Structure 1
Amino acid sequence: MHRVIQNSLFCLFVTLHVTNAYKPVIFMHGILSDPYEADTLFQWIKQDHPGTVTFTIDMYNKLDSLVNMMEQVDQVGKVMMKFMQQHPDGVNLICFSQGGLVCRGVLEQFSHNVDTFISLSSPQSGQFGDTDYVKYVFPNLLRDNVYKIAYSKEGQNISVGNYWNDPHHQDLYKEHSEFLAVLNNDTFNQNSKEYKANFLRLRRLVMIGGKDDGVITPWQSSHFAFYDEKLNIVEIKDQKWYTNDMFGLQSLDKRGGLFIREIPGVQHTHWHSTYSVYKDHILPFLS
């Protein structure tokens, strides 16, 4: 009987150890969406990693996602920090589209314990292109005229305006952008050292995107590349925020923490529900 009890306790210990072996996962949804965006992804994670704690941000859903990005970062960050305090051994972060920028804002502005940040088709270098989302926000403007509203007080109260990055009007972008230019240290930021130190608390940054996305423009923005003034793509390692290590990308890369995944054939709204993307490019980073 004593041996039976010992064996039962041992099996219970192993089960609990395996159950709690994987870091909790936080998901942040994209623009004009809601927390249900994570359902399929979380189902797969729990099948492959039983017992994983998952948490999806139920804030700034649908039209509320158009609220100023700094406000979103502040409020979402407070909720994330409470969750992180409950899991002091660290968490993983999966953030889709605009949600990836909200999450990067949190990573720079809060003293977090995120191990791996998976940026899933997120315009990390900004957006410059006519898409259904942009037309929804600025219905009467073509791409080359969006800056007239985006770089105004009213435009900076709208999320898309906060990361609109017009390569033809960089002076106005640097002067008026209250979010992306600040995160990238493209403009004066008195907290830049703190932002960089917080960002470098990350162990890994995984950037996922592809040429068939159809929404993120240029799609290479999901990999921290972007247009120059002639609309040629300047790759991540030739961008000043990398070469000057303005918020920690180069430092993270040098210590082996930067991963770029280019995946063709995936449309924008399918990234979080395409099994091959999950199995080959997300799951390996959750262990």
Structure 2
Amino acid sequence: MKTLLLLLLLAASCVHTYKPVIIVHGIFDGPKEFTKLSEFITKVHPGTEVTTISRFDYKASVKPMWQQVIGFSKDIEEIMRRHPDGVHLLCFSQGGLICRGVLSTMPDLNVHTFIALSSPLAGQYGVTSYLKCLFPKCVKKTVHLICYNKFGQKCSVCNYWNDPHFRSSYLKYNNFLPLLNGETPSSKMTAWRENFLRIKRLVLIGGPDDGVITPWQSSHFGFYNSTEDVVEMKKQKFYMDDSFGLKTLDARGNISVCVHAGVKHTEWHSNFTVFRSCMEKWLT
């Protein structure tokens, strides 16, 4: 009897438990948009704790990015505190940049995998339906007039609007993305880089038919130069300078890139094929 009990205890201790998954929504999104994605996760990894944070959802998602980073950090820290073995961050669209901010500014974080699902990681330079909701009459050539000033920086989209034709204004007035990338000087950059490098894996997901992230390669840290030719991640200055740790992660073999054609922006989190091929194996 004692031997049987010991074997049962050993078997129980060998049962694999999956790390909790924290989902961070995008602009004009909230928890209900991620019901299918949560179901995908628990279907293939039964027992996984999945939390879609509801803070700054829907209309509140246009608030300044630093304000959102602070708010989301509180929620993520609370969940991490309950799980000393670590968690995964799965962040969609604008949420990917929020998660970058959290990962950079939060000391002693315990995030194993950061999945950026169709996120404008290197910025946005394209007018979409989302932007039209905020600035109905704008065209991409004039958005810099709205965004690159103190008033414009109170809107989340303006915090990562990256106009390749007005580089100096982007660096001078944009108070979020250039700081996060180390493109403008900051005394905090060394600490932020060390924090970001605590993650074990970075997964970048995007594709050419997204229709919102512009250029779509921004989801893989690529972006336009001044002639609007796309420069890939490894040729970006922030990569070559390793200003926030991207090159180091790559050298470690800790960056995974997944490209899917035929997926529209609002379909990424409800496409089971994308989940199986790009996310499933990293959420263990």
Q: Which bracket does the TM-score occupy, shorter chain normalised?
A: over 0.9
Q: How does 1:34-53 map to 2 (within 5 A)?
A: 34-53=30-49
* 1:129-153 deviations in Å (ceiling 9; x for gaps): 0100111111121100000010011
Matched with 1:184 is 181
Equivalent position of 2:247 in the other structure: 250
* In the alignment, structure 1 residue 108 sits paired with structure 2 residue 104: yes
Distance 1:15 1:108, change over 3 A: same
Deviation, structure 1 residue 51: 1.2
Verify: 1:95 aligned to 2:87, yes or no. Answer: no
Matched residues, number = 283
Deviation at 1:6, TM superposition (A): 2.8
CA distance in 1: counterparts of 2:257 and 2:222, whole angstroms? 11
Deviations 1:143-201 (A, max 9, x none): 00000010011110000000000000010000011111110011111100011000000
| Compared CA separation, residues 12 and 43, structure 1 to 2 (3 A) | farther
What secondary structure does 2:15 align onto?
A: helix
Superposition deviation, residue 52 in structure 1: 1.1
Paired with 1:42 and 1:77, the residues of 2 have a C-alpha distance of 21
What is the TM-score with the length of structure 2 in the denominator? 0.96
Residue 286, structure 1, aligned to residue 246, structure 2: no
1:227 aligned residue: 224
For residue 38 of structure 1, report the CA deviation from its aligned partner. Answer: 2.0
In structure 2, the partner of 1:265 is: 262
1:239 and 2:272 matched: no
Secondary structure (helix, strand or coil) at the match of 1:217 reads coil
SS at match of 1:144: coil
Letter in 2 for 1:186: E
Aligned to 1:206: 203
TM-score normalized with structure 1 length: 0.95
Question: SS where residue 205 of structure 2 aligns?
Answer: strand
Q: Compute the RMSD of aligned alpha carbons.
A: 1.4
The residue type equivalent to 2:231 in the other structure is: V
Counterpart in the other structure of 1:86: 82
Q: Which residue of 1 aligns with 2:157?
A: 160
Cα distance in structure 2, aligned partners of 1:52 and 1:234: 38
SS of aligned partner of 1:143: coil
1:13 positional shift: 5.6
Tell me which residue corresponds to 1:130: 127
- Partner residue of 1:143? 140
Q: SS of the residue aligned with 1:205? A: strand
- Which residue pairs with 2:4 in the alignment? 6
* CA–CA separation in structure 2 for the residues paired with 1:17 and 1:43: 25
Q: Kindly report which structure 2 residues correspond to 1:19-34, keeping only aligned pairs within 5 A, or say none.
A: 21-34=17-30
Which residue pairs with 1:61 in the alignment?
A: 57
The verdict on how the C-alpha distance between 1:18 and 1:186 changes in structure 2, with shifts beyond 3 A counting, is same
Cα separation, 1, equivalents of 2:262 and 2:33? 20
- SS for the counterpart of 2:141 is helix
| Superposed displacement of residue 25, structure 1 | 0.5
With over 3 angstroms needed to count, the CA separation of the structure-2 counterparts of 1:15 and 1:38, relative to structure 1, is: farther
AA paired with 2:213?
Answer: I
Paired residue for 1:169? 166
Secondary structure at the counterpart of residue 212 of structure 1: coil
Residue 106 of structure 1 deviates from its aligned partner by: 0.2
Other structure's SS at 1:122 match: coil
Q: Which runs of 4+ in 1 moved over 3 A?
A: 9-17
Judged with a 3 Å threshold, the aligned counterparts in structure 2 of structure 1 residues 16 and 40 are, in CA distance, closer, same or farther, namely: farther
Partner SS, residue 51 of structure 2: strand
Q: Does 1:119 pair with 2:116? A: yes
